[in-house]
Structures are given as C-alpha cells and as structure tokens.
Chain A
C-alpha cells in the first residue's frame, strides 16, 4: 500500500464509529504522531482498552437495550474463547494449536470489547462482568457452551458460529450505534478468517478418510440442535432493529443457510435432520455445561476479590 494509513480508509469504514476517542476518526486531525504500523485502519485499531477509555470518559455510553445486546454478544464470544483455549497444546497438529489459539484470541478480543461497552451502562468493567456475575446473569446461547467434543465437533461448531457471526457483524458494522459498529467492523474481518478455517476443515474431514467423514457427520449431528437458537428474535432485538442499532437474528438466516449450504454441498454432506433444542441462554437459562466453565474461569479472581492483576 502506498497511501498513508489515514487516506487509505474508505469513508464508509470510518463513518460508523467516530465517537470513540482513541485511534479512530480524529486520528487524522490529531496528527501523524498517533499513526503507527499497527494502526492500519480505524477498525483495526479499536482495542478493548479504547472502548473502556471512551466509556470512562463518557464519550461512549450504551443505553439499557444496547448494553444488554452487547452483553449477549460478549458472553457468546467469551464462552467460545474459553472453550477454544482448551485446544492450545492439545490440537491434532502444531499448526492447529496456532490456528485455534488465534481464533480463541480473536473471540476473546471481541468479548472484551463488547463487555467493556456493556459495562458502560452501569459502571462495571469487563472483568466485573466476566468474573463476578453468576451463571443466570450470563446471556450466552447454548451452542457456545457445548463441550468441545472431538476435533470434528469443535469444527462443526466453528463452522456454524463463524458463518453466523460473519452475517451478524457484517450488518452490525452499519449500526446506528457507533461503538457497536466499530467493534463489528473490526470483528467481521477476523471472523471471515474463521469461516475460511472451518470451511476448509469441513471439506477435509468430510472428504478425507471414511473415519473422518463419519466423525464430521457426527459432529454436525451434535451441534445442529442448537443452531436455531442463534436466529431467534425477541423483544429486545425487535426494539433494536427498530432503532437501527441491531438487526433481527432471523434476518441472517437466509444468507447463513445459503453460504453454509454451499460448503456442505461441496463436502457432500446434508444438513442433519435433528430436532431443535429450546435454548434459553438469552434469558439466563443455561445448559448444564456453563456452570463448570464459569467455575474454572472465575476461581482465581474470586479467591482474591478486589485484587488487581
């Protein structure tokens, strides 16, 4: 790229999140001193710390609905990061230790951004939300909470959630809420890679050996009952789509079905015929799995309440 970081940014990419005070719009005005090799576009530069800072300065403050929505997305990403983190040092190949670690790290970054923003509603930090809420206060849906299973189950989940998150973040990048738009604009680029990673593995496993094909089919069978919950609308998403801050989850379904369908067709796999599970995570009614995950994640922070790390 020959253009400078600022001029290289298309106008529509900066439009969404001009309110965040660090590393975003404004950086062109505040001079070249703030530009660096790691700040290629404002979207890339938006870090959780920037959001926490904007929240503490009062330049970004979510309303109750947006905060609840950010909490949902933050919890989904956090729980997934916690699950994927387990693969690091246990993956089938060194390259996958790195790939799954990278995806976990991306998800954790998204979680930190969404939670930092959500906490802005009532003055709680990302860590207050992650470590000091009880299970019913979490808002994640079940597919993220499911145990990793074998590599095929993990890939089946990755395939579903990365295609879902891509459609969601792609639209949220146009949100009328500048901060949601900023987080989504950064996240969608990363989730695009997650789609590529999972789709490649779906193809490899489905068309590799007889054993891997069987395991891939089984993986989708395990995961698919929890797909519907991702696309369920409720009163909150109704209000937010009305204001243009978010979209109805059901509106993502057609694109999700089409794009995942293309990969499944290439892999010669069928969408499993399974009954959908009712879910309930958005209301705090969680799977049996979440409690263990939280117990492990929260134990040290809760052993030393008030300590800083």
Chain B
C-alpha cells in the first residue's frame, strides 16, 4: 500500500470545487501525482476514482474504446457465416463465439466508462468514423476456412497482445483482459480445429484452408501495430505500465508460435523469410506491406464502408427500441416512487 501521506483520491469532486483556492487545487494535484508516480514505480494499479494525469486517462480511453469497437466490428465477418456453417456443431460454436465477442465489447465499454465517457458517446464516435478499430476486420471473410484462420491467427495475435495487458496498470482494463483472454484462448483453439479438420479433409478443403491462411497472415502480423521505430505512442504506454512489450517483440513471438502450429496443421505460412535468429534468439519474418496497412487504416480497405454502414444500420434500426426501454424504465421508476410516497 502507498504510504499514508499519499492519497489515492485527493478530495471528492464537488459542486463547490471551483471555489477551492488555487493553492488547495495545486496541493491536491501534487498529492495525486505523487500517488500516481508511486503506483507506477511499484507496478501496482490505478483505479477509476484515483487521480491520474489527463494524458494517461486520454490514452486509456482511446485504447480501451478502440479495443471495444474492434470486438463489436469483429463480430461481423464471423456473423456472416453463422447461417451457412457447414454442420450444426460448427454453427453452435460459431454462434457462441460471436456472442462472446459482444460480451467482450460490453466489458470493455464498461471499463472505458469508468474513465468518464458514456458508451453512447463512444458508439457515436465509432459510427461517425472518429474512432478507430482494428484494421483486420476491414478484410472480408470469403470462405468457411476464414472462420478457422480468423480464430487461429487473428484471435491468436489478439491473445499475444492481450495477455500482457492483464497486468495493465489501470485496474478495470487489466481485470477485463483476464476474462477476455480466457475466452480468446478457447476461440483460438476452435479456429485451429477448423483448419485442422479442413487440412485433413478433401483436397478442395485443404486448399480452402491454405488460401485462408495466406490471406490472413500479413494482416494478422500487422495487428501488432507499426514497427517499433514508427510507433510514437509505445514509449509512453510502456512508461505507464499499460504496454509491457514492444510491437515488434510481440509480433516476433507470435510468428514463432505460428511456425510451430502450422506444422501440425500441415499447412504453410506465405513468408519464405521466416527464420529463428540464433544470435538474438528471436524469430524474424519477411517484410510487411505497411503501405497497405496505412491505406486500410485511412479507410480505404475492402470492407471499411460496409462494416461501418452495418453498425449504423443496426443502431438506427434499434433507436425506437432503446427509446421505448428508456421510457418504460422511467415510467416504472415514477410508479415506484408514487407507491413509496403513498405508503
């Protein structure tokens, strides 16, 4: 625990806050900063009511809401195959998986809300194109094998990224990640299993699997973000104990993991330059097309327009339902209050 002189909640925010003297405000801010610095030094956790630097709050809000948006938009390419899943068991698994993703979105929006922004506002930013989400979901899921490749590679990359986030310095984010990672790990195994079944199936099925792996390989590697020398925010995030490993470190680790597993699948990765560097003891991969990454990020990917339109459509179609629920809740609350007055 922090020493007694350090306060985690430097004064309750009150209506009278603006009446505090400048000296008092400065003192509270200094106390808060001292506590925050100590938490960082101890590698401990900041909770929502603790003081935090505005930039820390902003960074987390951006990262967690982007993460939530990715879960929500990420439902679409897989939901696209629920109706056509080739067996009832696969249909059930896929449905459960997409449902999990909605659940991840919910935890993450809730975690982000503790930083002071309501879910509606975050959703609105997404629909207005102001907020980003993982670019990978702007690629189309063309065949059933994509359900395998997305589970194995995309969820696999997500896990590699997210396991260290379980130790993120912001409490609600770290705790949400623990649960998310457990489910993601299950998702990855189901993706692997789909590919395994396909690669041991008919020649056409095996080809379908290989083509999906080929298509998702580079986008999955790019999920870790730009190379370290081109990742301006990484350094600060690492100083704040949000990020624990650099983009390239995580990416290389992921390549090594895939190299082992792809052999079991009896498939190949579409990259002839993958090798284990004996000197650095690290995996290396071939060059990635970062120009394409930036194109998709800028909104010029195959499905950017489609994904956002689908989200807007669902949101707009549901407006009257949300209004009805809010209205009903208000009426019920009023009735309850009247009952209590009468009693």
Contact = CB atoms under 8 A, between A and B. Distances in A.
Interface of A: 48, 78, 81-82, 85-86, 88-98, 101-102, 104-105, 108-109, 111-112, 115, 126-127, 130-131, 150-151, 203-205, 207-209, 211-212, 215, 296-297, 299-301, 304, 306-309
Contacts of B84: 296-297, 299-300
B328 A208 contact: yes
Contacts of B102: 88-89, 94, 97-98, 101
A219 to B, nearest CB: 12
Given A86-B83, A97-B75, A92 B201 contact: no
Interface in B161-200: 194, 197-198
B87 A127 contact: yes
A85 B88 CA distance: 13
Interface string B198-229: 10011011000000000000000000000000
A151 B321 contact: yes
Interface in B62-85: 72, 75-76, 79, 82-85
Interface residues of B, number: 48
A126 B204 CA distance: 24
A208 to B, nearest CB: 3
Contacts of A81: 91
A304 B321 contact: no
A144 B324 CA distance: 26
A300 B91 contact: no
Contacts of A94: 72, 102, 105-106, 109
Interface string B103-138: 101100100000000000000000000000000000
Given A96-B321, A212-B323, A304-B86, 15 more contacts: A88-B102, A89-B75, A89-B98, A92-B314, A93-B321, A94-B102, A98-B99, A101-B102, A105-B92, A105-B95, A108-B92, A127-B87, A205-B324, A208-B325, A300-B144
A293 B335 CA distance: 44
Contact of B324 (A212, A297, A299, A301): A212
A91 B314 contact: yes
Interface of B: 72, 75-76, 79, 82-92, 95-96, 98-99, 102-103, 105-106, 109, 144, 194, 197-198, 201-202, 204-205, 310, 313-314, 317-328, 331
Given A89-B310, A203-B328, A112 B103 contact: no
B321 A108 contact: no
B327 A88 contact: no
A97 B99 contact: yes
* Shortest 4 CB-CB contacts between residues of A and residues of B: A92-B318, A208-B324, A212-B324, A92-B321
Contacts of B88: 48, 78, 108, 111-112, 115, 126-127, 130
